[in-house]
Copies of this chain bind each other. A is one copy, B any other.
Amino acid sequence: MILKFESEFNEPYVELKDFQEIKLRKQIKYVYENSPFYREKFRQAGISPEDIQTIGDLEKVPFTTKDEIRESQRIQPPLGLHAAASLEDVIRVHSSSGTTGKPTYVGITRHDWDVWTEILARVLKTHGIGRDSRIVFAMGLTFFVGSSMKDGIERLGATFIPIGTGASERVVQSIQDFQADVLFCTPSYASYLAEYVRDHFHMEPKDLGIKIMSVGGEPGGGLPEVRRKIEQDWGCKVLEAMGNADMAPVLFSECPEQDGMHFIGSDFVICEIIDPKTGKTIPIADGVEGELVYTAIDRECCPLVRFRTRDLIRVKTGECKCGRKSFRIRCIGRTDDMLIVRGVNVFPSAIKDVVSSFRPQVTGEIRILLKQKPPLVHPPLPIQVEVEDGLTESEQSALKKEIESTLRSKLIFTSDVQLVPKGTLPRFEMKAKLVQEINV
């Protein structure tokens, strides 16, 4: 049974503080007792669980980074030294591509599942989705939001019509057959599908009757011009949602007022905002910008304390016209060089790792060419790869194919590998500049 604060997303953030701090103290004790990673982190920082009584006390705890999670899983596979539940109690494991070719894993227990499902049902409610809504789902169900979203939709009692990706004909057919009023997809698919409807069904997408387009998995829904185009095509409201692979599939959700994404998980996660350069906490207030930092306060497996998300956001506070008082955000970028290709997180360093495994045929030097503003990238992603001298044309052609197929298989995105002669790509002494923006 999960302990939740039913009306949490109708309250201003500060009023939840007492409730959050009760859970925080319990969670810190649990994490200290069950996670060797955090016990060591606390020891090194010279603090004990008793030192963390309030949200303000969290500043005493050093951040947790994605690199640490990866290292923690390398030392103690598969879930890492930070995991605090036994594999026996884990009912599901999601994997993400991580910053190297090796995936990182997130496990959830039955309790964690219950929390996620509760949050996901709230995401939908915030969108204005109810029991009568008919939702066509045109994202991958393997994608970790997918199978979690299924449970959230079913808990809410809406009608879930899963179609997945690569079946546009069926997406449109199902929308028509069920007079579906909600479509879940990535923003880039929403644009693609509008053209598909015109070309293949000889009708205007807005005549399909979609009222809410819930977009996620990649940025775009927050960009005014992208949003305006989708809304014009479809005659609908575009609503954004956002989560984090290591904390919860979704944690922020936009209401029909479209004035930013409401934080809807404050009984399960504490948000802090920090200056990404100094690491200093910035009080949550209207207009502040910074990096989101999450602390789980109700998590059994893979609990994280002060996890740096690398998501750069802008805050909006004050009561929303919808009546909700929780703070809202827009995502304005990333503080690292992560790219997002069709909803999949891809790190340039991971691409370099994979390409380097083709030594001695390649030198290991690469350059990623971006035609769009990062982090959003449309596949295939052009990647220049330096090859050693002496390869025949047919060896080069086979090598190109093999690298592309390995990238697809290890990092789950489509690339267009362009082989270039040894010595062509610029070298950097300190930090490799792997990404170059062209025609942006």
Contacts and interface: CB of A to CB of B under 8 A. Distances in A.
Interface stretch (A6-14, A170-178, A253-261, A306-314): A170-178
A95 B178 CA distance: 12
Contacts of A107: 159
Contact of A91 (B102, B160, B178, B409): B160
- Copies of this chain present: 2
Interface in A397-415: 406, 408-410, 412
A160 B141 CA distance: 14
A238 interface: no
A42 interface: no
A110 interface: yes
A421 interface: no
Nearest to A158: B91
Contacts of A64: none
A92 B159 contact: yes
A396 interface: no
Interface stretch (A121-129, A149-157, A208-216, A277-285): A149-157
A252 interface: no
Interface stretch (A33-41, A161-169, A315-323, A362-370): A161-169
Given A102-B173, A142-B164, A173-B103, A131 B92 contact: no
A410 B91 contact: no
Interface in A170-206: 170, 173-174, 177-178
A132 B86 CA distance: 10
A110 B158 CA distance: 10
Contacts of A150: 92, 147, 150
A162 B178 contact: no
B161 A140 contact: no
Given A110-B154, A173-B102, A159 B78 contact: no
Contacts of A163: 95, 142
Nearest to A165: B142
Nearest to A113: B154
A105 B147 contact: no
Chain A's interface: helix, strand, loop or mixed, by majority?
mixed
Contacts of A141: 140-142, 146-147, 164
A88 B132 contact: yes
Contacts of A147: 141, 147, 150, 162
B410 A178 contact: no
Given A95-B163, A162-B142, A167-B412, A78 B177 contact: yes
Given A142-B141, A150-B147, A410-B170, A178 B88 contact: no
A90 interface: yes
A157 B102 contact: no
Interface in A48-101: 77-78, 87-88, 90-95
Given A93-B159, A140-B141, A167-B412, 20 more contacts: A87-B134, A87-B178, A90-B159, A91-B153, A92-B150, A92-B154, A92-B162, A93-B178, A95-B163, A95-B170, A113-B154, A140-B142, A140-B164, A141-B141, A141-B142, A142-B162, A142-B163, A168-B409, A169-B406, A170-B412
14 contacts: A87-B134, A87-B178, A91-B159, A92-B159, A93-B159, A93-B161, A94-B162, A95-B163, A95-B170, A95-B174, A150-B150, A167-B409, A168-B409, A169-B406
Top 10 A-B pairs, shortest CB-CB distance: A142-B164, A141-B141, A78-B177, A169-B409, A93-B161, A92-B160, A91-B154, A90-B159, A141-B142, A78-B178
